Amino acid sequence: MRARRLRGLRPRLVVAFGLVATAAATTTGTLTFREARTGVLQQSQDAVIRQLRTQVSQRAPELGFPPDRSALQRLASDVAATEGQGHWRVLVTFRKLSAPSVPGDRFEELTPAVREAVGSSRATVFQRVRRDGRTSLVVGMSVTFGAPDGRHLASGVQVFLVVPQTTEQAYVDALVTAVERALVPALVLAVALALLAARGVLLPVRALRHATRSIAEGRLDTRLAVNGSDELADLSHTFNETAAALEASVTELREMEARARRFAADVSHELRTPLAAMSAVTDVLDEDAARLAPDTATAVRLISEETVKLARLVDDLMEMSRFDAGAAVLHLDEIDLAESVRRTLATRGWSDSVQTDLPAPDALRGRVDPRRLDVVVANLVGNALRHGTRPVRVRLHARDAAGAGRLAVIEVRDSGPGIPDAVLPHVFERFYKSDSARARSEGSGLGLSITAENVRMHGGTVRAANHPAGGAVFTVELPLRRDDLSQENPT
């Protein structure tokens, strides 16, 4: 996540803008600096050399030949004195004699290379020397005589000048600082611009991401605001069109499904009244059947039996419709779960045909809808008795699930061949028949679907599997405490 963030659009833009700004500022600064430095130094250097040459030309003739030490000393002092602020240090040499303008000055800036160059050339020699962090200009020249034939003869007198270039250095330093200072705002500006540009791109991208996620979470009415007419706006527009199309088709599908469900609900509803009349008289039919002619009796019994089944089917359909409509309500009550299971079996006369493994009385209490739990257990056990092989075993225990708190686990296992793998994923589907050729079963075909819905209402899970030792196992897990979802019974 972190690595992805660093490779994101925003850091990339910032880095790119920063690099461009740094490169531009550095290049401009470097070029400017070099030109300016050259100009500044050249100018000051030329001025110094010109002044020195003028002074030496003026004062050299006063020098006797061969000059003595004091004459050299005087020349040095005089030349040095021409520069008002006393920055000049002058050294005059003649063969072995040397005289500094300031007594005791050792002229360490003066390199042998300069001395040699001055000795061998009549041109003015200069060198910039950096010593102890200070830059000095060293100028050296030979004093020549102008011979009558126009030639210049070396007198052997050499004049060296050392001028500290602090002012120039400060000038140059100021330039460097200026460039450096310019770089920082340029960089800040670049980053700011980069962030702004990134924002311009990222905001729509982020909006798009949120919108996509929102759609994925099922909020199909999500739309983006389309601003401007750039590529991102085009994308947003396309997104909106796609979302609208998706919403339309999903809405249509839902409406179709809702219509189908409403139809099922309406049909069951309409069947109730005639069924109520028919159900009321089945007992009369059963009672009198014995006294009727055999054929009539058979017909009457058939009608009676099928009426009961039809009533049960309509009952299940109504229940299913209520689940679909979200109209099913939990009436929670805290009960002893083992007692509930025992009673479910006893009411239906299954106590002898089912082996039970139940906790002690009151050892496992939970808030459930007792009537729905009864339906769950009855459907699973009924299913096992009908489709599996006896013995059928019912086991109830509790376990602690990570993050889900304490769960009640109800296992219903038969001893038959189990459920074919191809059938397993479909056992909770409505009207699913594992064998399409098989005759109508005793149940409505909705029993396991209703079981699954009832378990789901409790926030639990139900699954079907085959036991390694044979037989199908249905496992229901119900959370024991659901205070947040509990619907209080009126007290």
If the CB atoms of residues 137 and 300 are measured against another protein, the closer one turns out to be: 300
Write the CB contacts of 390 (distance below 8 Å, at least 6 apart in sequence): 353, 414, 415
Minimum Å gap between C-beta 277 and another protein is 4
If the CB atoms of residues 132 and 483 are measured against another protein, the closer one turns out to be: 483
Minimum Å gap between C-beta 337 and another protein is 12
Looking at residue 479, its amino acid is: P
If the CB atoms of residues 45 and 279 are measured against another protein, the closer one turns out to be: 279
Dihedral sign (CA 97, 99, 105, 111): negative
CA gap 355, 395 in Å, rounded = 8
| Interface residue list for another protein (CB under 8 A) | 269, 272-284, 287, 308, 311, 314-315, 318-319, 321-322, 327, 329, 331, 333-335, 339-340, 343-344, 347, 365, 367, 370-371, 373-374, 489-491
Minimum Å gap between C-beta 449 and another protein is 17
Minimum Å gap between C-beta 339 and another protein is 7
If the CB atoms of residues 18 and 370 are measured against another protein, the closer one turns out to be: 370
CA gap 306, 440 in Å, rounded = 12
Minimum Å gap between C-beta 320 and another protein is 11
Entry field: residues in the chain: 491
If the CB atoms of residues 59 and 482 are measured against another protein, the closer one turns out to be: 482
Minimum Å gap between C-beta 359 and another protein is 17
Cis ω before 67 (30° cut-off from 0) = no
Tokens for 77, please give them: 């002092």
Minimum Å gap between C-beta 335 and another protein is 6
If the CB atoms of residues 109 and 336 are measured against another protein, the closer one turns out to be: 336
- 447-457 helix and 370-387 helix, angle to the nearest 10 degrees: 150
If the CB atoms of residues 9 and 277 are measured against another protein, the closer one turns out to be: 277
Minimum Å gap between C-beta 365 and another protein is 8
How many alpha carbons fall within 13 Å on the CB side of residue 434? 15
If the CB atoms of residues 165 and 307 are measured against another protein, the closer one turns out to be: 307
Strands of 331-470 (E only): list them: 333-336, 354-357, 365-368, 392-401, 405-413, 461-466
Diameter of the chain by CA atoms? 172
Q: How many CB atoms lie within 10 A of CB 147?
A: 9
Q: What is the DSSP string of 79-120?
A: HHHHSTTS--EEEEEETTEEEESSTT---TT--HHHHHHHHH
CA gap 49, 124 in Å, rounded = 8
β-pairing, 392-401 vs 405-413, is antiparallel
